[in-house]
Every structure is written in C-alpha cells, then in structure tokens.
C-alpha cells in the first residue's frame, strides 16, 4: 500500500495552486514587457562608448538627439536604416580601449561593425555573442594572441570578416570553416600558423591568407582562388600553388600518372593504418600491420556485440567487426584473406581483395565529381572495380559510418548498383563498386556521338524511366528514416548496363555527407522547397525523378537551365511548362529529336507525369507511390 502511494503521489505533494498561478503571472510579466528592462539605442551606444579611449571624434554621441532618424544619422559613425542602428563605422578614429561586445549584443539590428585602422590591442573580443552580425572589419589594429577554435561558432549570418594586418597568432579557428554564408575572409599579414581548416565554402569572393606562417595542403574548395591569396606562407602547397610532394598532380591524364596518384593515396592510407597499428601493439602483430588493426578493432568490440554479429543480427553498431567476422564461421583461408585487407566488405559472396590489390591494379581516373575523384581499377584476378574517394564525409564518427554503410550493404535491387566494400579513414572514405561498362544515362543522352548507335529510342527511354522509378521506390521502402532516400538522383548517377537496365548510384549518402557540402552540391538541395523554404521533404526525391523524366524526354541538360537562371523559375520543368503552354503543336517541339520509334500519346503521358512530379507546391506534388503507379501505366505503343 505504502509502495503504491509513493508511485502515485496525490495532489497535495505539489505546491498549492495559488502559488503556481502567481509564479506563472510573474513569468508572464517578465517576458511580456521588454520595454521596462530593454535599454534604448542611445543608452546602449553611450555605454559602449564608455569603454573606448581617445574617443574625441565621437563628441556627437550625446543624448540630446537620437542616434538615428529614419535613414539619417545624428551621431558620427552610426549607420542608420528605418530609424534603427544598422551599423557602426568607426574607421580611422584613433580609438583605443575595450570593445564592449556585451553592449553591442543589445543592439538587435546591428549588422555591420567596422573599426579599421585604429589602435585596439589585446585578444579578439567575443564577437561570437553577436549571432546576427554580417560584416566585421577589424583590419589594421594591434589585436594579438590566439583566437579559440570556436571563436566564430554560431555566427551563421557572418558574410565578411576582415582581420588582416593585426598580430594574431596560433591556428586559424576551425569554426570559420562552418560558416556557410562567409564570402570574404581577409587574414593576411598576421602570424597565424598551422594548417588551413578544411574550408568547404565554395562561394568565397575575396580571401587572403598571405604573409602568415601557414603550412600544409590548401583545401580543395580554395584551390580556384588566386595564388596571391596564399603568398608569403613558405609551408603551403597544393593548387593554386605548387603541388604537395606526396600527391602527384592528376591533371596530365595519362594512365601511368593517375595510377601513381591512386597509389600515392593508398600508400598514405596504408601508412596511417601502420601508424595506428603500432600505437596499440597486439598479439597478432606478426601477421602484418593491417591484420593487427583489424584484431584491435575486434578486441574492442564488446563480447555481446560480437555475439549479435555471429548470430547475424542487423542491430550491431560495432566497428569493422561485421566484415571481418561474418555470420557463419568462414573457412580459415577466407578469414585470412579478409584479414589481410583493410576494406570492409558489404557483400559476403565476393572474392575479397584489399587496398594492396587495388594498389597493384592498373588504375585510370574516370572523373572528378562533387565529392572527389573516381578511379577504375582492374584487379589482376579479373574483376574491374570503381573506387570513389569521398572527402566531405566527416560529420559522422566511425561507428555511425560503418552502421550506415551496413544499411546500404543490405540493399539489394536490380536497379541499384551495390556498394561492394568501403574504407573508412577520418579524413576520407573510399567506396568500392563494380564497374559498369555501358556508361551513364547522361552520356547516352548528351554524349558527343549520341546520334550514333548509342542514342536511346523511345522503348529504351521508357525502360530507363521505369527502372529508375522502381529503384527509387525500393529506396523509399528500405530507408524509411531518410527524408530523401536517394538524395542525389541525376542522369550522371544512373548507369546503364548492357541491356539498358538502369542502375542507381550514389544513393543514401545524405546522412554521411557534410551538410554544407550537401546543400551546395547535391541534387536534393536544388529542389524548389529547399531554395524557397530551406528544407527538403519526403517528396524531394520525387521532384528529382520528375526532372530526370523531363531530361530523358527533352534531351536537355537540367543543370544548364539551373545555371542560366538562379531563381526557381529557371528549371527544366518551367521551360517544359511554358513550351507546352503554347498549345498542342508546340508540345511536340519539346521532345528530343533523337527519339526514334516514339509513340506521341504515350510520350505526352510520361511528360505530364514528369511535370506532376516537378510540381513546385509540395502539398500538390505526387508522392512516390502515385508517381510509380502512373509510370507503370505508360506503354511503349
């Protein structure tokens, strides 16, 4: 009885109701009357001025008139908009003393802060408290000291940051690499050292790291900048400067050089493995460094996890264990073969090979995608593999990455290109799949000699659409937790086998790709709902499918449309819409002239399906079920 009362306390064990009401009223009053506690802009700025020294030029800052009236400023150096303080421009005023960021934070509309060419010294004030500020100019002062790595964390609105010509030392704060809006970053003429953070912003307009003490490789996202942005740092290498020694340049395109580059990358990876293995010596060391690390990984996995794996449970989250300890005990020979490699295999009934085998294989570069280079490697035993390097996949840790790869490894569908194996290293990942000989859909649609035998007739195009739809529907069913289960559907990621059956590639990667990189490059983030509302939805892949259908029918390359006009009106769907809007006759005009054996009615039916999938209004857009059902109903004749 007593026990039951304890687990169901009666009303009297809570504070009496009147007290609760009073407390609620007090909280309400505190929150609802900001005017009583919030200071005016006049008060805030005067407080800010108090901690400045040598502020003779700010004599106009006095309470006799407000700082701003409409767009006009009464106070020197105050930038006004709509009667509000939008910015402070205190350049070249000989100011010293302390920058009272605490006060600035209280100015809700402050977007610009400039104190170029003054005499401020000491360490950088806590600007990251000003989450909404867009432009910060501190150039030509005497600031010094290290900036903490999270010094700019949370400044998601920051577009321009000028810290040049000061005395900053230490590493460039890594938090700068996370600011997606940043377009100007001037850090030249300081004493920053160490390597550059892995900047991923590709929209930089002005960046300067010159005359610091920086070393190491320039991140790929910065490689297109002017070399003068990096001069005066003896230790920096890589494009646009001279290549770094360990990575021979890929651009000459000859097989040999590419092979060497891949070899160099793999050697680097092997070196890391060896170093890792040396750090934790294990009994199996004599079987070789790679084996040692596998053993270490196995040892770390708790016994119950191992048991789960041995029983073939899919819930395991332990590291590389699954690939090295398959469900049924393999013959000793296979086990040794698996352990001598460091690739994690996702498909069990495969001939196993390792990085060394890929190293020996003759390699050829297939292309450079948004993630990194893709190589084709022919193993000496026959199979031809494709190895993709991924450089923008370091948001998830090793266990989560393995877990996600195993999820992808369990997928099996005739319209998906399986991931055969993968390799995990903190800075980069390799995904290995089979080489598909018959090129991508993009090549068939837009390749140079497409009017020859490689051109696709209507039955083939319909087959491709149906296959792609099946593959996407399968992904929706099997990866229900992903908002966009494919995420990167486009014609270059649809491979055709010898019987023109489409195979989807690069699917299911959104959870492991760095968000910024994904948002800048992946197809899901080109959808109107992201451009307009900043989010993707369960119907985003349907939109990509629609665009693909329109591309297949019109022979037009969607990315060209996207480039020509940045707005949502510039995509292929709107072009088709306006073209068919001109009347039935004009509708015929939108189809690719290369389509042979076409059936106009059925083609028109498919075109309309494509349009429905591209509906801008997500509410009205079809879901995947309806799209697949309608596609199934289209006939060849």
Ligand X SMILES: *[C@@H]1O[C@H](CO)[C@@H](O)[C@H](O)[C@H]1NC(C)=O
Q: Using CB under 6 A, list all residues that contact ligand X.
A: 188-189, 208, 210-211, 226, 228-229
Kindly state the smallest distance separating residue 169's Cβ from ligand X, in Å: 18
Round to whole Å and give the CA distance between 318 and 397: 12
- Residue 548's φ and ψ, nearest 5 degrees, are -65, -40
Q: Where are the beta strands (DSSP E) in 90-189?
A: 96-97, 112-114, 121-122, 135-137, 142-146, 160-162, 167-171, 184-186
In the three-class reduction of DSSP (H, G, I as helix; E, B as strand; rest coil), residue 309 is classed as helix
Q: Where are the beta strands (DSSP E) in 435-544?
A: 494-496, 502-504
Contact call for residues 166 and 186 (beta carbons, < 8 A): no
Bridge-based pairing of strands 84-89 and 78-81 is antiparallel
Round to whole Å and give the CA distance between 376 and 382: 13
Q: Which is nearer to ligand X, 208 or 554 (CB)?
A: 208
Q: Which is nearer to ligand X, 137 or 422 (CB)?
A: 137
Round to whole Å and give the CA distance between 157 and 450: 46
Among 98, 213, 228, which Cα is nearest to 167's?
213
Contact call for residues 96 and 83 (beta carbons, < 8 A): no
Q: Which is nearer to ligand X, 208 or 544 (CB)?
A: 208
Bridge-based pairing of strands 160-162 and 184-186 is parallel
Kindly state the smallest distance separating residue 207's Cβ from ligand X, in Å: 7
Round to whole Å and give the CA distance between 391 and 236: 19
Q: Which is nearer to ligand X, 128 or 211 (CB)?
A: 211
CA angle 496, 502, 503 (to 5 degrees): 95
Q: Which is nearer to ligand X, 208 or 344 (CB)?
A: 208
Round to whole Å and give the CA distance between 217 and 158: 25
Q: Which is nearer to ligand X, 211 or 433 (CB)?
A: 211
Kindly state the smallest distance separating residue 113's Cβ from ligand X, in Å: 22
Give the list of residues 6+ apart from residue 534 with CB closer than 8 angstroms, or none: none
Kindly state the smallest distance separating residue 223's Cβ from ligand X, in Å: 14
In the three-class reduction of DSSP (H, G, I as helix; E, B as strand; rest coil), residue 121 is classed as strand
Long-range contacts, 451-460 (Cβ 8 Å, 24+): 451/594, 455/594, 455/596, 456/500, 456/552, 456/594, 456/595, 457/595, 457/596, 457/597, 457/598, 458/595, 458/596, 458/597, 458/598, 458/599, 458/602, 458/603, 458/636, 459/597, 459/636, 460/500
Kindly state the smallest distance separating residue 231's Cβ from ligand X, in Å: 6
Round to whole Å and give the CA distance between 414 and 469: 12
- Say how many residues make up the chain: 637
Q: Which is nearer to ligand X, 140 or 200 (CB)?
A: 140
In the three-class reduction of DSSP (H, G, I as helix; E, B as strand; rest coil), residue 31 is classed as helix
Kindly state the smallest distance separating residue 183's Cβ from ligand X, in Å: 14
Kindly state the smallest distance separating residue 240's Cβ from ligand X, in Å: 10
DSSP one-letter code for 218: P
Q: Which is nearer to ligand X, 208 or 298 (CB)?
A: 208
Kindly state the smallest distance separating residue 218's Cβ from ligand X, in Å: 14
Which residues sit opposite 235 in a β-bridge? 215
Q: Which is nearer to ligand X, 222 or 385 (CB)?
A: 222
Kindly state the smallest distance separating residue 165's Cβ from ligand X, in Å: 8
Q: Which is nearer to ligand X, 228 or 597 (CB)?
A: 228
Q: Where are the beta strands (DSSP E) in 38-126?
A: 52-53, 68-69, 72-73, 78-81, 84-89, 96-97, 112-114, 121-122
Kindly state the smallest distance separating residue 91's Cβ from ligand X, in Å: 18
Which residues sit opposite 81 in a β-bridge? 84
Q: Which is nearer to ligand X, 189 or 492 (CB)?
A: 189
Q: Which is nearer to ligand X, 229 or 554 (CB)?
A: 229
Kindly state the smallest distance separating residue 202's Cβ from ligand X, in Å: 16
Q: Which is nearer to ligand X, 168 or 561 (CB)?
A: 168
Kindly state the smallest distance separating residue 33's Cβ from ligand X, in Å: 50
Kindly state the smallest distance separating residue 166's Cβ from ligand X, in Å: 13
Q: Which is nearer to ligand X, 202 or 594 (CB)?
A: 202
Kindly state the smallest distance separating residue 245's Cβ from ligand X, in Å: 25
């Amino acid at each position: 009885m007593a026990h039951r009362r304890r687990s169901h306390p009666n009303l009297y064990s809570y504070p009496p109701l009147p007290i609760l009401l009073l407390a609620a009223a007090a909280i309400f009053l505190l929150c609802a009357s900001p005017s009583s506690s919030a200071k005016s802009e006049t008060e805030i700025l005067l407080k800010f001025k108090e901690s400045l020294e040598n502020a003779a030029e700010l004599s106009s800052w006095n309470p006799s008139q407000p700082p701003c009236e409409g767009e006009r400023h009464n106070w020197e150096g105050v930038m006004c908009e709509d009667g509000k303080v939008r910015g402070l421009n205190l350049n070249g005023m000989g100011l010293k003393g302390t920058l009272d960021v605490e006060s600035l934070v209280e100015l809700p509309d402050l977007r610009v802060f400039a104190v170029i060419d003054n005499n401020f010294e000491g360490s950088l004030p806590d600007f990251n408290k000003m989450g909404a500020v867009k432009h910060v100019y501190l150039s030509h002062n005497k600031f010094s000291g290290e900036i903490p790595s999270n010094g700019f964390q949370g400044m998601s609105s920051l577009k321009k940051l000028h810290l040049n010509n000061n005395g900053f030392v230490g590493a460039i704060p890594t938090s700068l690499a996370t600011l997606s809006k940043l377009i100007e970053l001037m850090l030249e003429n300081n004493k920053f050292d160490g390597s550059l953070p892995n900047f991923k912003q590709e929209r930089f307009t002005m960046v300067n790291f010159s005359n610091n003490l920086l070393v190491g490789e320039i991140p790929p996202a910065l490689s297109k900048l002017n070399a003068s942005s990096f001069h005066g740092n003896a230790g920096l290498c890589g494009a646009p400067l001279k290549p770094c020694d360990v990575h021979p340049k890929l651009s000459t395109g000859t097989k040999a050089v590419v092979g060497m580059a891949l070899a160099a990358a793999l050697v680097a990876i092997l070196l890391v493995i060896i170093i890792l293995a040396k750090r934790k010596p294990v009994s199996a060391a004599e079987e070789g460094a790679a084996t040692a690390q596998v053993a270490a990984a196995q040892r770390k996995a708790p016994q119950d996890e191992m048991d789960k794996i041995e029983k073939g449970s899919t819930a395991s989250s332990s590291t590389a264990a699954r690939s090295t300890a398959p469900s049924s005990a393999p013959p000793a020979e296979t086990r040794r073969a698996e352990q001598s490699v460091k690739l994690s295999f996702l498909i069990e009934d495969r001939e196993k090979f390792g990085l060394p085998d890929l190293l020996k294989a003759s390699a050829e570069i297939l292309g450079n995608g948004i993630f990194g280079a893709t190589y084709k490697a022919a193993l000496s035993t026959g199979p031809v593999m494709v190895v993709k390097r991924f450089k923008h996949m370091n948001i998830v840790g090793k266990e989560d990455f393995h877990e996600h790869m195993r999820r992808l490894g369990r997928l099996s569908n005739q319209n998906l290109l399986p991931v055969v194996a993968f390799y995990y290293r903190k800075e980069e990942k390799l995904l290995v799949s089979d080489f598909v000989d018959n090129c991508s859909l993009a090549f068939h649609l837009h390749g140079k000699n497409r009017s020859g035998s490689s051109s696709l007739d209507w039955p083939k195009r319909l087959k491709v659409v149906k296959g792609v739809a099946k593959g996407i529907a399968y992904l929706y069913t099997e990866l229900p937790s992903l908002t966009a289960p494919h995420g990167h559907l486009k014609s270059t990621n649809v491979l055709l086998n010898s019987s023109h059956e489409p195979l989807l590639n690069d699917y299911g990667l959104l959870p492991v790709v760095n968000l910024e990189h994904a948002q800048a490059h992946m197809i899901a983030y080109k959808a109107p709902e992201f451009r307009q509302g900043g989010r993707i939805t369960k119907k985003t892949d349907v939109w990509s499918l629609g665009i693909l259908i329109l591309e297949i029918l019109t022979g037009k390359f969607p990315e060209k449309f996207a480039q020509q006009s940045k707005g949502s009106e510039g995509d292929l769907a709107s072009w088709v819409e306006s073209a068919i809007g001109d009347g039935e006759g004009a509708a015929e005009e939108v189809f690719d002239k290369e389509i042979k054996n076409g059936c106009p009615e059925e083609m028109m039916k498919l075109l309309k399906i494509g349009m429905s999938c591209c509906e801008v209004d997500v509410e009205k857009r079809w879901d995947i079920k309806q799209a697949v059902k309608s596609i199934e109903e289209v006939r060849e004749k």
